Amino acid sequence: MTQSIKKPWGISVFGAASVDAAPDLARLRLACNQTEPTPAAAFAATRAATTAIREALRDRGVADAGISSSRLNLSTAWRYQEGTRIQAGYDCSVSFVIEIRDLDSLEQVLIDAVAAGANSVEAVEFDVSTKKELRAKARAKAVAAAREKGALYAEAAGVELGPVVHIEDVDSDALVNTYRSHTRDSAGGDAESNLTPGRITVQAAVHLGFALAGAVVTDF
């Protein structure tokens, strides 16, 4: 099937780039769940565990500002006995997000938090504090990549590249699958699946539209 350009005006190209950096912080997602016979007892047990977790984190040098917790959640606990569902008490839970700047202390912080009462480690996420600056570098590299691609197409087509007439940012979240390989280690594993920081990849992409030198652009 043949295709045609309905409104020819120049060259449209896509440029993408990424910048790698060593992470300098980690976010731990932990949860504490307590089951007791009554709602009051479940709340009390969870509050006590929460206090113990916060004290253990303070002892490890984690500031209160680096700890955020959700509200206490209460639900009925059930168990099955010979095919019959029986109420077993009440589950009370609270979740924590803990930001760690000293990555060397990460493992011990986890150990202390679990010992203090956190009974679920939901995730360990590594990040970089200079993401804004890294994103700016990635965007500049993406523009350079698009310019290079546009110049290559123009040279191959025997025309001269004109000025930029259109710039469109591309949501970096849409590039996750495209650059998935950048977040894998050499063995093919996921760098975020364990306590190895690995590298953080910051991505950017752009669509650039170039006029052709000497062409008159009226509508595109």
CATH of the domain at 105: 3.30.70.2970
Structure tokens at 175: 């590039």
- Do residues 116 and 57 share a domain? yes
pTM over 0.75: no
- Do residues 31 and 115 share a domain? yes
- Do residues 111 and 203 share a domain? no
Spell out the per-residue pLDDT of the chain, length 220, in tens.
445 556 667 999 999 999 999 999 999 999 999 999 999 999 999 999 999 999 999 999 998 889 998 888 999 999 888 889 999 999 999 999 999 999 999 999 999 999 999 999 999 999 999 999 999 999 999 999 999 999 999 999 999 999 999 999 998 766 654 444 344 443 344 434 456 678 999 999 999 999 998 655 555 4
- Do residues 31 and 118 share a domain? yes
C-alpha distance from residue 69 to each of 38, 45, 59, 120 (Å) = 23, 16, 18, 14
The answer to whether residue 217 sits within a structural domain is no
71, burial (CB in 10 Å: exposed 0-12, middle 13-18, buried 19+): exposed
* 3-state secondary structure at position 84: strand
Q: How far apart are CA 207 and CA 142, in angstroms?
A: 9
The answer to whether residue 142 sits within a structural domain is yes
